[in-house]
Amino acid sequence: MPLSSTGLDFPLCLVTIVVTGLLAAVALVDALAHVPFNRWRLIGWVVYPLAAIALLVIFLISQLPANPLFRLRFELSRPALDAAVQSTLAEKPPATPRWIGLFPIQRIEVDQREIRLVADACGVIDECGLFYRETPPPRPRSKVKLKHIKGHWYHLYAVF
């Protein structure tokens, strides 16, 4: 995975969590089957559920538009995001950094009728967030990758 990746994608994360769960089950059976009982084996087993939880947290906070939990977070945040855009277009942008819906927005950038809600850094120096434009973007941009989410909304990946 490149340093500038925006996170784990859904299939990879699902496979990783399932494999971690299977390894945890095998380790638990092994720890419980040994006679005499060895509590250190059982304590060692705790690593697997902790790894699965860590993977799930990484997945939940990733900014991938293909991630179904990202889509759910976007839909739940949609009224707040739309209100922030309308306020920004009326030249009264909300103060940042702040949460807009379920997204931690670090700053808002406006260029004519385009609005970038920059959420966070992706990788080392790149940025991710949400992009709003009432008409489709005119052409591909060299350092900005946009993936359509819904309506006038796009996932923003800005390369430094």
- pLDDT tens-digit series, residues 76-128: 999 999 999 999 988 887 888 889 998 888 889 998 889 999 887 676 677 88
Of 11 and 128, the one with more pLDDT: 128
Q: What does the pLDDT read at residue 3?
A: 30
What sign results for the dihedral spanned by CA atoms 2, 7, 9, 12? Answer: positive
Q: What is the mean pLDDT of the chain?
A: 79
Q: Are 117 and 100 a contacting pair, CB within 8 Å?
A: yes
Per mean pLDDT, which range of 30-39, 44-53, 58-67, 99-108 is the poorest?
58-67
Per mean pLDDT, which range of 6-10, 51-55, 134-138 is the poorest?
6-10
Instruction: Identify the CA nearest to 156 among candidates 33, 36, 137, 41.
Output: 137
* H or E segment and range at residue 114: strand 114-122
Q: What does the pLDDT read at residue 16?
A: 76
Cβ contacts of 11 within 8 Å, gap of 6 or more:
none
Q: What's the pTM value of the predicted model, to 2 decimals?
A: 0.63
Q: Over 50: is that where the pLDDT of 28 sits?
A: yes
Q: What does the pLDDT read at residue 13?
A: 65
Per mean pLDDT, which range of 6-10, 57-61, 136-140 is the poorest?
6-10
Q: Over 60: is that where the pLDDT of 2 sits?
A: no
At 113, give phi and psi (nearest 5°).
-105, 15
